[in-house]
Structure formats: C-alpha cells, structure tokens
Amino acid sequence: MASGAGVDRNAASPGFDGASDAFARAHDALLRGKDLQFEPTAAPKPPHVPDWLVAVGKALAAAAPYLTYVFWGCLILGAAVILYFVGRELIATRWPSLKPHKGPVLGDEAWRPSAAKARTLLEDADRLAAAGRFAEAVHLILFRSIEDIEGKRPDLIKPALTSRDIAQLDGVPERVRITFSQIARVVERSFFGGRAVGADEFAACRQAYEGFAFAEAWR
C-alpha cells in the first residue's frame, strides 16, 4: 500500500511541474510587459526657487509674530472708515441741519420764483381746486416749492429728505422755511393722516405761497 501511494504521488508530479512552468512563463511575460510599472520612479527634482522669493519668505517668517497685530489694525481701520461714511450719511439724512452746506448764501429775495412761474403755478392749483381736488392742488404747490428750493440750492435737497427735513434746513432763509412749513403741514395731514383737504386749507396754502412769491409782499 505504501508503495502504491508513492506511485500515485510520482504520477501527479508531471502535472504539477507543468503548472509551475506555465506560472513561471506568465510571470516572466508580465515582467517583460510595458503596461505595468514594478519599480519606483525617481522623484522629480524640485524647481529652482529664485533668490528674491527666498528673501521674501525669510522676511515673512521674521514678521510672522507681528502679522496678527497688522491684521487687527487693518480690520479696525476698515470698520472705522465704514462707520464714518455711514454716520455721515445718517446725519445728512436724519439731521440735515447738522450738516455743513457749502452752497452760496442767498438773500431772501433771491429765493423768490419769477412772477410768471408763480402765476402759472397758482393758475394750475386753482384749476384743481375748482374741480374740488384741493389735496392735489396743495400737493402741487408743495412740490413746486421744493423745485424752487432745489433750483436755488441743488446741494440742499437729497432724495431721502422729508418735507419736515426740508423745512428745517439751515441753508434756507427763515421766511422761506415758514412758508414751506405751513404748506407741508397740510400735505402731511392729508397724505399720512388721511385727513381731507378743504377749501379753507387750500386758500391758506395758496395765500402763503402767493405772499412768498410776489414782490409786493416783500415790501
């Protein structure tokens, strides 16, 4: 039996040897192929760093401990600049009388519109009032008054200003402010308070503008 088992193992040897040879040939073919890389490539040579860049790097390394202070300083400076511009616009918008104006200083009579322009305005307002549209008539007088102020001092009128702000502008003479305030109060009660404008209120606004516009009232 032992001899028989030995014969069986020897009989199996040729097949095993054949498989081993086939594996060796396949491995050899794999090594000869160019598709796969079995050896590491040499690391590429690092590029040459210019001397000036080396100097910059050393300077930054030396300044590194102070860069934090530089960063916070720039941040605080930027915030201060932003607050300055925001504050300046806020003052100009909400408290226009605190903003210095560099426009020309005009005498009271220089603010009067031309007689022809004033008559045209009052005729337009009278037509609206005759149709019972008193609120529109008063609005018209107010808007034309704003145009008059803007024409004399375009540096004073800003888009965000309300009628009340315009009436408080330091660059406008007191007589003009009083007339404008009287008309603006009626418009505010109508526009914001929903109060109807009657013939008496229109007549008062018309008289105020007429007294401001025509030369006879200035004598």
Name every residue whose Cβ is closer than 8 Å to that of residue 91 and which is 6 or more positions away in sequence.
98, 99
The pTM (predicted TM-score) of the whole model is 0.47
Residue ranges in 99-167 assigned as alpha helix (H): 115-130, 134-152, 163-167
Contact 178, 113 (CB under 8 A): no
pLDDT average, residue stretch 167-179: 75
- Count helices and strands (H / E) in the chain: 7, 0
pLDDT of residue 115: 76
pLDDT band at 74 (very low <50, low <70, confident <90, very high): very high
CA distance 219 to 179: 17
Residue 194, by phi and psi: left (phi above 0), alpha (psi -120 to 50) or beta? left
